[in-house]
Structure 1
Amino acid sequence: MWLEILLASALGLVIYWFFSGDKEDTLPLGDGWWGPGARPTAPEDESIRPFKVETSDEELNDLYRRIEKVRLTPPLENSRFHYGFNSSYLKKVLSYWRDEFDWRKQVAVLNKYPHFKTKIEGLDIHFIHVKPPQLPAGRTAKPLLMVHGWPGCFFEFYNIIPLLTDPKSHGLSDEHVFEVICPSIPGYGYSEASSKKGLNSVATARIFYKLMLRLGFQEFYAQGGDWGSLICTNIAQLVPSHVKGLHLNMAFVVRNFHTLTLFLGPRFRKLFGYTERDMELMSPLKEKMFYSLIRESGYMHIQCTKPDTVGCALNDSPVGLAAYILEKFSTWTNSDFRDLEDGGLERKFSLDNLLTIIMIYWTTGTITTSQRFYKENMGHSFLSDRHQRMKVHVPTGFAAFPCELMHVPEKWVKVKYPKLVSYSYMARGGHFAAFEEPELLAQDICKFVGQVERQ
């Protein structure tokens, strides 16, 4: 009898664990202070200040000295990118970085969009805010918050912004025209890092919501991948009435009953709601859903536990920083790029654009503070966080890029996001969707917004 009681209790707990987030609930908005010391008694300065990216001869000369003193270990024969970043190819990157890459020119590129900073919860939050150059008569622009992840930054959105703010000039339909707001996560790039423990995705979501209110937007669309996906999801959980629609190209759906059907999926595909395309993207299961994740997640274990230790090395060596970050732009764009001598980096990106991202991390000294975001979100009780148990009750669109780290079938997404109105199997692309395939992502965002506004 006791065995039956124990088994029934265990089954009940499992069912509760998976389905306890069914009711429409919201996260408490709360408040925070992440600046140094105690929170001042005076009201926070809510002014929005223009900001420009700048550089100097001193900054560049220091970089060049460090590159010139690099010590590299020769790669194993025929190792390609299977052991990490291949140092033979790294020599080519470093030669280009030292002798051909023009950081001053890229600073001018960064400044082509308007940059701003504003204090929120004790931190200087950086963002770009791009309005349409012109609007069709009688139309207003739709506010769109776009949030990056790691190891990316706001620069990932530079090629998609004109497709959203000025679609007609780029051969796209102007049925939907956006004004785009791209903030930097605190501790990334030009946003100030927290002085205190605990600044996680929910706190960041609240900060970005306050930013949108400060800009005058009571309602807005939100889009993100990687950490941006989680932050935008949290905004929808905090203030669902303010989010007109949520578009994602990555989803955190770990608390999901359907993941238990993985191994039965190939045999009972229709029973469990999987499509043929789902099976293609998840097969072979052991490789795609387990081995590849183990192979690609070593960085995560470090950053979830001791981010400051590896951060000391990366913040001191531009070469180490470049290898650490660029390796992700190789394997996360397409896992097959591990088989190439150059990691396939220049098949999808230019060295100028890749090195611009590296330079944003290097010149701001923010690699360590960016890595702490893993510790704050996943370094303790990741699956027990309240937002992980909650569903999202705003209209949602999802773009499933075929080379993403893990494919998430529509059935899985719909458990977490029951108001899923758009799910697209994208023709190509990987983890850095806006950076790699801006036109495909822009088209899917517009398709989703159209479906929301026709409801």
Structure 2
Amino acid sequence: MSATPFTCRIPDAALADLRERLARTRLPDQAPEAPWTYGTDVGYLADLIAYWRDGFDWRAQEAALNAFPQAMVQVGDLAVHCLHAPGRGPEGGPAPRPLLLCHGWPGSVFEFLDIIPRLTDPAAYGGDPAQAFTVVAPSLPGYGFSFRPGQRRLGVEEMADTLAEMMGLLGYDRFLAQGGDWGAFVTTRMAWRYPERIAGLHLNMLPVRRDRTGADPTPEEAAHYERVAHWLKEETGYQWIQGTRPQTLAFALTDSPSGLAAWQVEKFRAWSDCGGTIEAAIPRERMLANIALYWFTGAIGSAAHPYFARMHRPWPIPDGERITVPTGYAAFPKEMVRPPRSLACGMFADIRRWTEMPRGGHFAALEQPALLADDIRAFAAAL
């Protein structure tokens, strides 16, 4: 069997070890400027650590994950973990269409626990049962339960090949694909490499080149390039570290759960539509479950590798190539980088749907599961 059932069960000893490490946290001083000026706020993290140690219920989050059918799929030398949730279509109607749902960094499959039921059983949310999907949501190879110590590191190119093979092993020769962050890169690469297998591509982040193209940009394009320049200057320090010295960083984040939390919560705050208060957009329980999954699996070093591969390889879509698969895009207002449609068309030749969302940020499935699910369904229904 290439696929075997999987249930998450973290040992009690690992939970006790985590609490002990959190209790021994040594915090830095807070710089005298405004909180969050130089990164994660000390006061916020101290409160989060105390809650993680004494209030957070991992077993409840574990049970929420285990409420979905899960599998380990052997793809060559890699064991890939996935949620595999069957859809509930209309009685006597066609089988629900398969949908591959891909997360990114610092995300995980915990991002998808609220959106999957909306996709597999839309009738339960007032939708059309004919628009149900069977959802396959993998932990990206090298992330979460798709990580084993010492396994080979993968960039988005190898991830795309691995997940395409995984879908075939699960019986899906043709499917829709959806992604954000690295998941957007992986699914876009799949759409380029396996266009005959991807029935439709839906993204909530567009992996469009950041460098300026053309001698005479439109005002909208020029404004976009200005935003990109600011983002590259102020927000990409983590990329340079993870893209050049991921192993060195892994020592600190594998040894200190508080350090791991500090490294990730800054991104949850900066990249979400939270108005400066993370929990206004992302439930604290779900965010801590996501961080804890990185901690328990020890996958933070491996999860950084796509940044190293991206910095040391050509762009994943070869120069001059375009994506011909029908594409939909959900443009959430607080996404980090939002290229205008004129630039997106340079890479995506068949954009069928472009939705300007009223709210939400980078972690779309976590922040706005209803909006994202509705847009995915509408895109697929129009194909």
TM range (shorter): over 0.9
The C-alpha deviation readout for 1:268-324, integer Å capped at 9, x for no partner, is x6xxxx7xxx96xx4xx64x3322332110000011101010110000000000110
3-state SS of paired residue (2:189): helix
Equivalent runs, 1:364-379 vs 2, <5 Å: 364-376=297-309, 378-379=310-311
Q: 1:138 offset after TM fit, Å? A: 1.8
3-state SS of paired residue (2:124): helix
- Equivalents in 1 of 2:148, 2:240: separation in Å? 21
Q: 1:256 offset after TM fit, Å? A: 7.4
Query: Is residue 448 of structure 1 aligned with residue 376 of structure 2?
Result: no
Partner amino acid for 1:56? Answer: P
Answer whether contact 2:102 2:187 (CA < 8 A) is retained: yes
Q: Specify the structure having the higher radius of gyration (Cα).
A: 1
Which residue of 123, 129, 134 maps to 1:179?
A: 134
Name the residue aligned to 1:254.
209
Partner amino acid for 1:242? Answer: R
- Equivalents in 2 of 1:362, 1:388: separation in Å? 38
Equivalent runs, 1:375-414 vs 2, <5 Å: 375-376=308-309, 378-383=310-315, 387=318, 389-414=320-345
Name the residue aligned to 1:217.
172
Answer whether contact 2:147 2:302 (CA < 8 A) is retained: no
Is the alpha carbon distance of 1:407 and 1:49 closer, same or farther for their aligned partners in structure 2, counting shifts above 3 Å? same
Query: Is residue 114 of structure 1 aligned with residue 53 of structure 2?
Result: no
The size of the alignment, in residue pairs, is 383
For structure 1, the residue ranges without an aligned partner over 5 or more in a row are 1-45, 338-342
Name the residue aligned to 1:52.
7
Q: 1:193 offset after TM fit, Å? A: 4.8
Partner amino acid for 1:167? Answer: P
Name the residue aligned to 1:318.
257
Partner amino acid for 1:367? Answer: I
Query: Is residue 423 of structure 1 aligned with residue 354 of structure 2?
Result: yes
Is the alpha carbon distance of 1:106 and 1:319 closer, same or farther for their aligned partners in structure 2, counting shifts above 3 Å? same
Equivalent runs, 1:125-274 vs 2, <5 Å: 125-133=80-88, 135-193=90-148, 195=150, 199-254=154-209, 258=213, 261-262=216-217, 265-266=218-219
Name the residue aligned to 2:248.
309
Name the residue aligned to 2:234.
295
Is the alpha carbon distance of 1:197 and 1:379 closer, same or farther for their aligned partners in structure 2, counting shifts above 3 Å? farther
Q: 1:200 offset after TM fit, Å? A: 1.6
TM-score when scaled to structure 1? 0.80
- Equivalents in 1 of 2:43, 2:334: separation in Å? 26
Answer whether contact 1:293 1:405 (CA < 8 A) is retained: no
- Equivalents in 2 of 1:258, 1:174: separation in Å? 44
Answer whether contact 1:146 1:180 (CA < 8 A) is retained: yes
The C-alpha deviation readout for 1:185-237, integer Å capped at 9, x for no partner, is 11100003585666221111111111111111111000001111111011111
- Equivalents in 2 of 1:261, 1:80: separation in Å? 40
Is the alpha carbon distance of 1:386 and 1:97 closer, same or farther for their aligned partners in structure 2, counting shifts above 3 Å? closer
The C-alpha deviation readout for 1:421-454, integer Å capped at 9, x for no partner, is 11111111111111111111111111111221xx
- Equivalents in 2 of 1:358, 1:125: separation in Å? 19
Query: Is residue 333 of structure 1 aligned with residue 288 of structure 2?
Result: no
3-state SS of paired residue (2:178): strand
Q: 1:381 offset after TM fit, Å? A: 3.6
Name the residue aligned to 1:76.
31
3-state SS of paired residue (1:415): coil
3-state SS of paired residue (2:266): helix
- Equivalents in 1 of 2:107, 2:174: separation in Å? 26
Answer whether contact 1:50 1:116 (CA < 8 A) is retained: yes
3-state SS of paired residue (1:320): helix
Q: Could you tell which deviates more after superposition, 69-78 or 400-409? A: 69-78
- Equivalents in 2 of 1:311, 1:388: separation in Å? 33
Answer whether contact 2:71 2:82 (CA < 8 A) is retained: yes
Name the residue aligned to 2:277.
344
Q: 1:130 offset after TM fit, Å? A: 0.4
Answer whether contact 1:205 1:232 (CA < 8 A) is retained: yes
Q: 1:176 offset after TM fit, Å? A: 0.9
3-state SS of paired residue (1:187): coil
Which residue of 412, 415, 434 maps to 2:365?
A: 434
Is the alpha carbon distance of 1:422 and 1:258 closer, same or farther for their aligned partners in structure 2, counting shifts above 3 Å? farther
3-state SS of paired residue (2:140): coil
Partner amino acid for 1:392? Answer: I
Name the residue aligned to 1:355.
288
3-state SS of paired residue (1:94): helix
The C-alpha deviation readout for 1:330-389, integer Å capped at 9, x for no partner, is 00114x84xxxxx4111011111110001100000001110112112x231434x55354
Answer whether contact 1:193 1:369 (CA < 8 A) is retained: no
- Equivalents in 2 of 1:220, 1:126: separation in Å? 18
3-state SS of paired residue (2:305): helix
Is the alpha carbon distance of 1:75 and 1:172 closer, same or farther for their aligned partners in structure 2, counting shifts above 3 Å? farther
The C-alpha deviation readout for 1:231-251, integer Å capped at 9, x for no partner, is 101111121111110001111
3-state SS of paired residue (1:190): helix
Is the alpha carbon distance of 1:84 and 1:257 closer, same or farther for their aligned partners in structure 2, counting shifts above 3 Å? closer
Partner amino acid for 1:429? Answer: G
3-state SS of paired residue (1:240): coil
- Equivalents in 1 of 2:353, 2:86: separation in Å? 26
Partner amino acid for 2:312? Answer: H
Is the alpha carbon distance of 1:388 and 1:125 closer, same or farther for their aligned partners in structure 2, counting shifts above 3 Å? farther
Report the identity percentage. Answer: 37
Is the alpha carbon distance of 1:255 and 1:56 closer, same or farther for their aligned partners in structure 2, counting shifts above 3 Å? closer
